[in-house]
Amino acid sequence: MRPVRREMMVSGDLERQARKSGLAFVSRSQLLSADDVARALKRMGHEMIERNHEVGSLSVIGLQTGGVVFANRIAEILVEITSTPVATGQLDVSFYRDDLSSNPAPPSAATRIDHDLTGRTVILVDDVLFTGRTVRAALNALSDWGRPGSVQLAVMVDRGHREFPIRPDFVGKNLPSARDEAIVATLDGVWIGTRETS
């Protein structure tokens, strides 16, 4: 049976990014449903509260573009559980990456952090953790916005194949995959497939 071509249509930001880079995602199968994702995010929210008792000192920062929707939803969950406002933001790391010589620069997106991160506990949120290069770049980018007291990492999917000694503190789901496979994670579900040039 021929796989259905799904051009990352679930999220507007992801769809724009895929089109700009000339990539299309060909879905092979759905690994998690929207309900599975919602349950995983709620569990992660409870784990964050158990680990960080001062929720008011958290800054939940989503990595552009895939991590932003997850960061926003996690912040909402933290507020729902604790009734405490949670600072949020979004971070673009396009020009902090160390692999621009082998890969073209990804389309840049807006960084929006309207508070000083100095002394705060920052929870970086991304959709999929793969080699760790995006997270390494994010740690460099954060220094432009203050000196956090600590940085924690939350990802919806950890797919393995790390090239840096980076391990997430909060994981929605561990989904080992082959290097040539692609995983797309959104609030509507998680799919595995391949990326093709269009």
pLDDT of residue 28: 82
Higher pLDDT, 28 or 102: 28
d(CA 47, CA 89): 20
d(CA 178, CA 159): 9
pLDDT of residue 78: 98
pLDDT of residue 35: 98
Q: Note the pLDDT tens digit of each residue in 163-197.
A: 899 999 999 999 988 888 899 999 999 999 887 75
Instruction: Give the mean pLDDT of the chain.
Output: 85
Angle at which helix 66-82 crosses helix 34-51, to 10 degrees, equals 60
pLDDT of residue 3: 37
pLDDT of residue 103: 53
d(CA 170, CA 118): 22
pLDDT of residue 94: 84
Architecture per CATH, 36-178: 3-Layer(aba) Sandwich (3.40)
pLDDT of residue 65: 83
pLDDT of residue 9: 40
pLDDT of residue 16: 41
pLDDT of 17 > 50? The answer is no
pLDDT of 18 > 50? The answer is no
Q: Are 91 and 138 in contact, with CB atoms under 8 Å apart?
A: yes
Q: pLDDT confidence of 109, banded at 50, 70, 90?
A: confident
Neighbouring-strand partners of residue 91: 63
- In three-state secondary structure terms, 59 is strand
Tell me how many degrees the CA angle 83-57-109 measures, rounded to the nearest 5: 95
For residue 25, count other CB atoms closer than 10 A to its CB.
22
pLDDT of residue 108: 59
pLDDT of residue 23: 58
Q: Note the pLDDT tens digit of each residue in 61-105.
A: 999 989 999 999 999 999 999 999 999 999 999 888 766 555 555
